[in-house]
Structure 1
Amino acid sequence: MSTSRPKGGSPRKFGFTQTGALLRGRIRDASASRGFAQSRLLTHWEEIAGPDAAAISRPVEVSYGRGGFGATLVLLTTGAQAPMLEMQKEQLRERVNSVYGYNAIARVRITQTAPTGFAEGQVAFTPRAKAKDPAPLPPEARKAVTEQVAPVSDPGLRQALERLGTNIISKSTS
């Protein structure tokens, strides 16, 4: 059985191509135009920054200075959240540099905007709400959890198991 070859000489591919493979070049080009050498910074922002910082911020740009002594990461947040983010700048810089694998980001700059932003046609910038605490358990369910973990001798492990049991029961009842 022979494969047909186009005039270029290489065998033709038959079948489906994954969507990620089709979009990879366009995503890389769009990311590079905004200074993001690795699009992982955009796509995994919550994992990199942590849930609290990711809920109130979004990476906007990585700009490189003329001297070449490291880049500046620009983060977008609302005016009310800026002071909280300002206190976390050094931790965020370290986390981002761990993604790049070297000390790529020298500075983090915070840009404030109104909740309804104007950048890139975005209608609104709404920080994500924090997850709610589970509803309190009825006394008989709490007693059952406490009895189950009572034989555990280590107090830290016992408390952790009690919290786990409480979370499991509260999620199954809601």
Structure 2
Amino acid sequence: MSYKRRGERPISDIANGIMDPVLARRAGISTALLGSWDEIAGAEFADCTRPEKIVWPRRDDPGQMGGHRPGQLIVACEGARALFLTHAQDELIDRINGFFGYPAIRQIRIVQKPVSRALPLRRVVRPLPKAAEKRLEDMMEGIESEALRAAITRLGKAVLQPGRAARKKTGE
């Protein structure tokens, strides 16, 4: 039987709640669009493009009640692939508007620049002291799934590492 404790929320919900207002204010974009970009752009453009910003049209009259007007999406694209993206932009606009569920984008502006995918940083995990290694093994008792055991072992080794202060004292 599994249940959620009162007040527990996935960390992704908390992070998105913090980031969405910042991204909306700065770039007019949401984490949902960034997170789903690979599916929206498709296999042809997912690796060479990145949404940068949505520029929403200004209202001419502050008292004007004209409803929503579609914006312009600025997309970073690498090198010569920008030409292919230009030819496919109508289809991309349709996909983006389908994602939002309303006509949010009227036009795409392509900016040529490098689009790098950040590689996750891997920390070198030092061997644990014998006492910490024994403690981790004791905690793993009763876990039958090998995949879960491996994941928890990696986490445990990272968490049980001696702090920087302890390493400085030992001269490492």
Q: 2:48 aligns with which of 51, 56, 60?
A: 56
> 1:15 Cα shift?
7.0
Unaligned runs of 5+ in 1: 1-12, 116-124, 128-174
Residue in 1 that maps onto 2:126: none
TM-score for both structures, normalised by structure 1: 0.53
Which residue does the alignment assign to 2:18? 26
* Equivalent residue letter for 1:35: G
Partner residue in 2 for 1:44: 36
For 1:35 and 1:17, the matched residues in 2 are separated by 26
CA distance, structure 1, for counterparts of residue 69 and residue 6 of structure 2: 47
Aligned identity (percent) is: 30
Q: How many Å separate the matches in 1 of 2:8 and 2:58?
A: 44
- For 2:86 and 2:73, the matched residues in 1 are separated by 13
Instruction: Please state how far the C-alpha of 1:16 moved relative to its aligned partner.
Output: 4.9
Letter in 2 for 1:52: E
Which 4+ runs in 1 deviate beyond 3 A? 13-17
Q: What stretches of structure 2 of length at least 5 have no aligned partner?
A: 60-67, 118-172
CA distance in 2, matches of 1:15, 1:99: 30
Hey, what does 2:91 align to over in structure 1? 91
